Amino acid sequence: MKNMENHTSVKSSPHNNTCGCHEGDYGCAIYVTSLLFGGVGLPLALVAIIALRSVVRADHVVPVYVINLLISDLLQLSSCIVRAATNEKKICNNFRNIQNYGLMVSICFMVIISLERYLCVAWPLWYRLRRNIRTSVKVCIVTWLLCLLLYIINELLVEKDILLAIFLLLPFPLFIFFLCGTHKALIRTHSVHTVEKRRIIGVLVLVLIIYTLLFLPDIIFLSSENKNVHVTAYILIDFSPLADLILYIFMRKGIGDRILAYLCSKMLRNSHSQSVENSAMMELGSPVETCNGEGDNKSGDVVRF
């Protein structure tokens, strides 16, 4: 966020490379990635928002949260392009703030989407009675306003890294809890179709992977003085809007289902091959068992899972 920008840019001098709002030895690298991510992600996010608007129904509120997630991505992608196109200090600062605000909003909506998936499986009756467009719109409005308030407070603090680190760390245990809770609930229920189960678990796993790979490195950045770490974390944060588009694909019926079905079938084939191999080894016995004539399962045997 803001502190990241301070570490990845320095005061301009004749020996520093300046590319748009990005200065320093790695400024042009960040400039190129910003243009690439913005140029690719901006039209794709617009298409995804238009496609999602057509599937919003009174009893299907998930697209509302995904639309807001994509709108926050639009703010980030637009800011990336503007900050690559100009080097005026005031414009750079304003759009840096917009980009950071959009980043905070996108993290919050990732948490909301995971929470919604958990509630619809673990507490289906309670959730079904309260699931409507009006409630989801209220949740979205509160989220945008709350993120704005938190960002203003963060800017007013002297030690900005403390609030930023808490904000980045807090969603991680929540994602793990939602994934584990949803998995346990899906094992117990038989009313959810297998395809829908795959989609729900796939979305939660993807959210956790995206957050682990793209957002948690920013915490390492906050405690590191290595410029390579700073630039890597900055580029990963810029890539997060494109990762949200991957999340959108997995939530849509069609190509996401085919990808998940392929991955599941591959895992089942590997599991079946391993099971057959373990069964054969158990029947033959280990060399020690064969010589001693023992049938006990000892520490050297293969254990079937």
Q: Per-residue pLDDT tens for 202-245?
A: 888 888 888 988 888 777 776 666 666 677 777 888 888 888 88
Neighbours of 234 (CB within 10 A): 25
- Look at residue 27 and tell me whether its pLDDT is greater than 50: yes
The Cα 17–Cα 28 span in angstroms is 7
- Look at residue 152 and tell me whether its pLDDT is greater than 60: yes
- Look at residue 8 and tell me whether its pLDDT is greater than 50: no
Q: What is the pLDDT of residue 175?
A: 93
State the chain's mean pLDDT as an integer.
75
Minimum mean pLDDT range among 31-40, 57-66, 180-189:
57-66
DSSP string, 237-294: HHHHHHHHHHHHHHHSTTHHHHHHHHHHHHHHHHHHHHHHHHHHHHHH--HHHHHHT-
Q: Is residue 55 very low, low, confident or very high in pLDDT (cuts 50, 70, 90)?
A: low
Task: Give the burial class of 70: count Cβ atoms within 10 A of its Cβ; 0-12 exposed, 13-18 middle, 19 or more buried.
Answer: buried
- Look at residue 2 and tell me whether its pLDDT is greater than 70: no
For the stretch 73-94, pLDDT in tens is 999 999 988 888 888 888 888 8
Q: What is the pLDDT of residue 280?
A: 46
Q: Is residue 274 very low, low, confident or very high in pLDDT (cuts 50, 70, 90)?
A: low
Q: Is residue 110 very low, low, confident or very high in pLDDT (cuts 50, 70, 90)?
A: very high
The pTM assigned to this predicted structure is 0.76
- Average pLDDT (106-123) is 90
Q: Confirm if 48 and 250 have CB atoms less than 8 A apart.
A: no
Greater pLDDT, 279 or 87 = 87
